[in-house]
Amino acid sequence: MRLMKIAFLASEVAPFAKTGGLADVAGALPKFLTQAGEDVRVFMPLYREVKKKRLELQKVIDGRDIPLGKENFPFSVWKYGGSLGIYFIDNDEFYDRDGLYGTSAGDYPDNALRFAFFSRACLETLKELDFSPQILHCHDWQTAFTLAFLRYSYGDDPFYTSIRSLFTIHNLAYQGLFERSVLGKIGLPDHLFNIRDLEFYGRVNFLKAGILYADAVSTVSPRYSREIQTPEFGYGLEGLLRQRKDSLFGILNGVDYFDWDPATDPLLPARFSPTDMEGKKVCKEELAKIFGLRGSSTELPVMGMVSRLAGQKGLDIVGEALDDIISLGVNLVILGTGDEKIQDALRTAQKGHPGRLGLMIAFNEKVARTIYSGSDMFLIPSRYEPCGLTQMYGLKYGAVPVVRATGGLDDTIEEYDPGARSGNGFKFEEYSAPALMKSVERAISFYRRKDHWHALLANAMACDYSWNRSVREYIKLYKKIAGA
């Protein structure tokens, strides 16, 4: 079988730079595609965070210029790795900064330029490397403009004409909205500022470029691919997505179990597996220590959360339900960064429940893994959730998910049925504190009935959300697009 050439563009890739699930996906999917025999090249910006890792990189392109509007911007390209090539686009003015997209004060004002530049630099690099992909796979608004450039800036160049594209939406709420003047600054024609192209309520919408100009569009779970075609989840783009529904696909993200397995995870204080759970107790003790949970705390059930602190993630209903959760005899542990208002609300809540509500405002991979491994349950009350990876990590690490039935959470979590002893967690429909509490109460009632809890843990830890199945689906889709 002929292997396919795939160029994979993402604004964050684990383990090099990460703010959320996109990085996990962009780190894992290319690896599994390569294992399946495809020829994949991954492109991401050379952020300060990447530089700090002092990787062994090889310079493959030196000091080239790219025109964006009236200005020229220089870039170099560095390659990392063997069979799976990762290419870092280097421009200090744009990427040698503290954050990937901004600071706690807000997004960087020149993000349009930073990512339009990245998109064009990737296209230039493909030609320079003489790597002409059958599929260009772009992710989220940061790389969506690649597809506009292909159409409007590279249309006459035969190197690019056979390239077909897939655009994956990891979260429809982040659209990359900018002023009209951005079009001129990045060198795209002003006539694209109309509602059939890139205009969106008086602004330019980067995500729209991806949805309009890609040969196919995908999102990260089957249920979310249906939800985004409705006004409740469509963020104003539901009409456009419905127009493209024959080319819109939902493929569930997977888990890289080489990286996420409590039996081998080097970041855990102790290791464990379904047949030997002793190590999980050590993790629970360590978790209590890190978060200063009260003395008898290892006796009490611990419910964990690892989350961006964003409106999407349901922390408002957690706040409303907090007193009730704590009075059920549960210790709650939250690790997250993001929205300052949410941070403040959590800090205030913590003062009201010393030793019972553990809080860390940080982005910390090791602590995150200690939470997955040391918790009995894992809470994800999202308003919407395109796929969600944390419930899948919770399953593998023996932290039974309690989730809101939306998007990928609904696709991956099945309510526990005590009669059949089937199911892998608990879920609630209505976005409200009482509905959340009902699920938490149900989870706790089975936690106290050890035979049920053992059955549930066994079901949860046996769930297989590995990439194998999703990779097959992606390859099928790539072939369909390339053949079209």
Other Cβ atoms within 10 Å of 414 Cβ, number: 15
Q: Are 35 and 108 in contact (CB under 8 A)?
A: no
* Min CB(220)–ligand ADP separation in Å: 8
Binding region for ligand ADP (CB under 6 A) out of 67-75, 117-125, 334-342, 346-354: 334-342
Q: Give the count of alpha carbons within 13 A of 89, CB side only.
A: 33
Binding region for ligand ADP (CB under 6 A) out of 85-93, 142-150, 239-247, 305-313: 305-313
* Min CB(182)–ligand ADP separation in Å: 25
Q: Are 380 and 403 in contact (CB under 8 A)?
A: yes
Q: Which of 51, 97, 244, 308 binds ligand ADP (CB under 6 A)?
A: 308
* Min CB(310)–ligand ADP separation in Å: 8
Distance of CA 39 to the CA centre of its chain: 23
Cα separation, 443 vs 402, in Å, equals 8
Q: Which of 336, 358, 381, 394 binds ligand ADP (CB under 6 A)?
A: 336
Examine residue 337 and tell whether it contacts ligand ADP (CB under 6 A): yes
Q: Which of 125, 146, 175, 307 binds ligand ADP (CB under 6 A)?
A: 307
Examine residue 402 and tell whether it contacts ligand ADP (CB under 6 A): no
- The helix (run of H) or strand (run of E) holding residue 307 is strand 302-309
Residue 438 falls in which region: left (phi positive, over 0), alpha (psi -120 to 50) or beta: alpha
Distance of CA 194 to the CA centre of its chain: 31
Task: Work out the burial of residue 450: count CB atoms within 10 Å of its CB; fewer than 13 is exposed, 13-18 middle, 19 or more buried.
Answer: exposed
Mapped to the 3 state alphabet, what secondary structure does 388-443 carry?
CCHHHHHHHCCCEEEEECCHHHHHHCCECECCCCECCEEEECCCCHHHHHHHHHHH
Give the gyration radius of the chain's Cα atoms.
23
Positions 356 through 395 that interact with ligand ADP (CB under 6 A): 363-365, 368, 387-390
Instruction: Give the residue with the Cβ less far from ligand ADP, 259 or 473.
Output: 259
Number of residues that bind ligand ADP (CB under 6 A): 18
Binding region for ligand ADP (CB under 6 A) out of 58-66, 241-249, 302-310, 344-352: 302-310
Joined tokens for residue 348: 């205030």
**Would you mind telling me the total number of residues written for the chain in this entry?**
484
Instruction: Give the residue with the Cβ less far from ligand ADP, 91 or 390.
Output: 390
Examine residue 221 and tell whether it contacts ligand ADP (CB under 6 A): no
Please name every residue paired with 428 in a beta bridge, in sequence order, or none if there are none. 404
Binding mask 14-53 for ligand ADP (x = CB under 6 A): ------xxx-x-----------------------------
Q: Are 302 and 333 in contact (CB under 8 A)?
A: yes
Instruction: Give the residue with the Cβ less far from ligand ADP, 257 or 363.
Output: 363
Binding mask 252-291 for ligand ADP (x = CB under 6 A): ----------------------------------------
What is the DSSP-derived secondary structure letter of residue 248? E
Instruction: Give the residue with the Cβ less far from ligand ADP, 85 or 338.
Output: 338
Positions 55 through 114 that interact with ligand ADP (CB under 6 A): none
Cα separation, 397 vs 271, in Å, equals 10
Binding region for ligand ADP (CB under 6 A) out of 93-101, 140-148, 228-236, 306-314: 306-314
Instruction: Give the residue with the Cβ less far from ligand ADP, 343 or 364.
Output: 364
Nearest residue (beta carbon) to ligand ADP: 21
Examine residue 306 and tell whether it contacts ligand ADP (CB under 6 A): yes
DSSP string, 176-212: -EE-TTHHHHHT--GGG-STTTTEETTEEEHHHHHHH
Instruction: Give the residue with the Cβ less far from ligand ADP, 30 or 336.
Output: 336
Instruction: Give the residue with the Cβ less far from ligand ADP, 99 or 418.
Output: 99
**Which residues of the shown chain bind ligand ADP in the complex (CB under 6 A)?**
20-22, 24, 306-308, 335-337, 363-365, 368, 387-390
